[in-house]
Amino acid sequence: MSQPPAETRVVVRRPMNDHDTVTVEVCATNETRHLVEYASPELRRTLSDLPAGAAVPLGMSRVGVRSNVWRATSVSGADRAPVREADDARDGPHQSRTRVTDRGTPSVSASRSR
């Protein structure tokens, strides 16, 4: 029996566009991946609600062998940490912090730097 792919912590770089593609960056390697398929409509909806800068643990599997496109297989975690501090500084004074709640839905709060 095969195990599901492990989840990888990613940051949303470009939210879902009109073609249902989300661009994410793998935190550990700075690798860019394009999510183009989703394991379920619920997972697609959850990811479509995430703004740029949201950091979440995400299960992914490659679609095809030659392109950099991926299928999102899972997202999980409660009270996940926001984007890395280095990313916060780049976003400017109005920072949006996103975490995934127990139900897998995003929760967004905004803060203002002083």
102/50 Cα distance (integer angstroms): 15
Task: Give residue 6's pLDDT.
Answer: 82
Q: How much is the pLDDT for 5? A: 60
Closest CA to 71 of 10, 6, 21: 21
User: One-letter amino acid identity for 16?
Assistant: M
CA–CA dist 20, 94 (Å, integer)? 26
Exposed e or buried b per residue across 44-80, where buried means at least 16 C-beta atoms within 10 angstroms of its C-beta: bebbeebebbbbbbbbbeeeeeeeeebbbbbbebeeb
Q: How far apart are CA 41 and CA 99, in angstroms?
A: 20
CB neighbourhood size of 99 (10 A): 17
- Sequential pLDDT tens for the chain (114 residues): 455 568 999 999 999 999 999 999 999 999 999 999 999 999 999 999 999 999 999 999 999 888 889 999 999 853 334 454 444 444 443 444 445 544 454 554 444 444
What CA–CA distance (Å, rounded) separates 95 from 48? 19
Structural domains of the chain, with CATH: 7-112 (2.40.50.140)
